[in-house]
Structure 1
Amino acid sequence: MHSSSQSIYLDNAATTATDPRVGELVLRLMTLEYGNAGSRTHEFGLDASRHVSRARDQIAACVAAASDEIVFTSGATESDNIAILGLADHGEATGCRHIVSTAVEHKAVLEPLARLEARGFTITRIAPNRAGEVSADAVLAAVRQDTLAVSVMHANNETGAIQPIGAIAAGLAQDGPYLHVDAAQTFGRRTSELRDARIDLVSLSGHKVFGPKGVGALVARRRGMRRPPLTPLMVGGGQEFGIRPGTQPVPLIAGFGLAAEIAIAEEPARTARCAAVRSEALTALAPLAPTVHGGSDPLANILSFAIPGVDSEAVMVALKGLVALSNGSACTSARYEPSHVMLAMGLDPDEVAGTVRLSWCHDTGPIPWTEIVARMDDLRI
Structure 2
Amino acid sequence: MTVYLDYSATTPVLPEVADLVYKLMTEEYGNAGSRTHEYGVSAKRAVEIARAQVAALVNADKNEIIFTSGATESNNIAILGLREFAEKIGKKHIITSKIEHKAVLEPIAYLERLGFSVTYLNVTPEGKVDTEHLKASLRDDTILVSIMHVNNETGTIQPLNKVCQLLAGHEAYLHVDAAQSYGKFPFGLEDPRIDLISVSGHKLYAPKGIGALITRRRGFIKPPLSPIYFGGGQEKGLRPGTLATPLIAGLGLACELVSENKDKWIKHVSALKENFIIAINEFGAQINGSDTTPYILNFSIPGVNSEAAIVKLKGVIAISNGSACTSSSYTPSHVLVSMGYDTARIQSAIRVSFGGYTQDIPYDEITNKFRSLL
TM-score class, shorter: over 0.9
Give the Å deviation of 1:175: 4.9
2:200 counterpart of 1:205: yes
Q: Give the corresponding residue for 2:323.
A: 329
Matching residue's letter, 2:286:
T
CA distance in 2, matches of 1:370, 1:362: 22
Equivalent residue for 1:362, pick from 340, 356, 373: 356
CA distance in 2, matches of 1:237, 1:174: 37
Equivalent residue for 1:372, pick from 357, 361, 366: 366
CA distance in 2, matches of 1:96, 1:268: 42
SS in 2 for 1:207: helix
Seq. identity, %: 50
Q: Give the corresponding residue for 1:104.
A: 99
CA distance in 2, matches of 1:50, 1:108: 31
TM-score (ref. length: structure 1)? 0.97
SS in 2 for 1:55: helix
Q: Give the corresponding residue for 2:231.
A: 236
2:357 counterpart of 1:348: no
Equivalent residue for 2:245, pick from 224, 233, 250: 250
CA distance in 1, matches of 2:82, 2:44: 29
Question: Contact 2:168–2:193 (CA<8 Å) still a contact in 1?
Answer: no
Q: How does 1:148-297 map to 2 (within 5 A)?
A: 148-295=143-290, 297=291
Question: Contact 1:188–1:260 (CA<8 Å) still a contact in 2?
Answer: yes
CA distance in 1, matches of 2:136, 2:23: 51
Give the Å deviation of 1:294: 2.1
CA distance in 1, matches of 2:170, 2:133: 20
CA distance in 2, matches of 1:113, 1:93: 18
CA distance in 1, matches of 2:170, 2:151: 27
CA distance in 1, matches of 2:326, 2:266: 27
Equivalent residue for 2:19, pick from 3, 24, 28: 24
Give the Å deviation of 1:377: 1.8
Cα RMSD of the aligned pairs, angstroms, is 0.9
2:32 counterpart of 1:37: yes
CA distance in 1, matches of 2:134, 2:266: 28
Matching residue's letter, 1:299:
T
Q: How does 1:295-334 map to 2 (within 5 A)?
A: 295=290, 297-334=291-328
Matching residue's letter, 1:333:
S
Equivalent residue for 1:339, pick from 333, 341, 344: 333
CA distance in 2, matches of 1:218, 1:56: 11
Question: Contact 2:122–2:129 (CA<8 Å) still a contact in 1?
Answer: yes
Q: How does 1:118-157 map to 2 (within 5 A)?
A: 118-157=113-152
SS in 2 for 1:362: coil
Question: Contact 1:162–1:294 (CA<8 Å) still a contact in 2?
Answer: no
Unpaired runs of 5+ residues, structure 2, are none
Q: Give the corresponding residue for 1:115.
A: 110
CA distance in 2, matches of 1:260, 1:136: 30
Matching residue's letter, 1:226:
I
SS in 1 for 2:355: coil
After superposition, what is the alpha-carbon deviation per residue over 1:204-249, rounded to whole angstroms, capped at 9, x for unaligned? 0100000111000000001111110101011111111111000000
Matching residue's letter, 2:338:
A
After superposition, what is the alpha-carbon deviation per residue over 1:338-378, rounded to whole angstroms, capped at 9, x for unaligned? 11111111110111111010001110110011110111122
Question: Contact 2:50–2:251 (CA<8 Å) still a contact in 1?
Answer: yes
Question: Contact 1:37–1:248 (CA<8 Å) still a contact in 2?
Answer: yes
Give the Å deviation of 1:140: 2.4
Matching residue's letter, 1:44:
Y
Distance 1:192 1:132, change over 3 A: closer
Q: Give the corresponding residue for 1:3.
A: none
Matching residue's letter, 1:362:
G
Question: Contact 2:121–2:133 (CA<8 Å) still a contact in 1?
Answer: yes
Q: Give the corresponding residue for 2:50.
A: 55
Matching residue's letter, 2:155:
G
Matching residue's letter, 1:303:
L
CA distance in 1, matches of 2:132, 2:19: 46
CA distance in 1, matches of 2:169, 2:16: 40
SS in 1 for 2:328: coil
SS in 1 for 2:188: helix
SS in 2 for 1:149: strand
Give the Å deviation of 1:174: 4.5
Question: Contact 1:325–1:358 (CA<8 Å) still a contact in 2?
Answer: yes
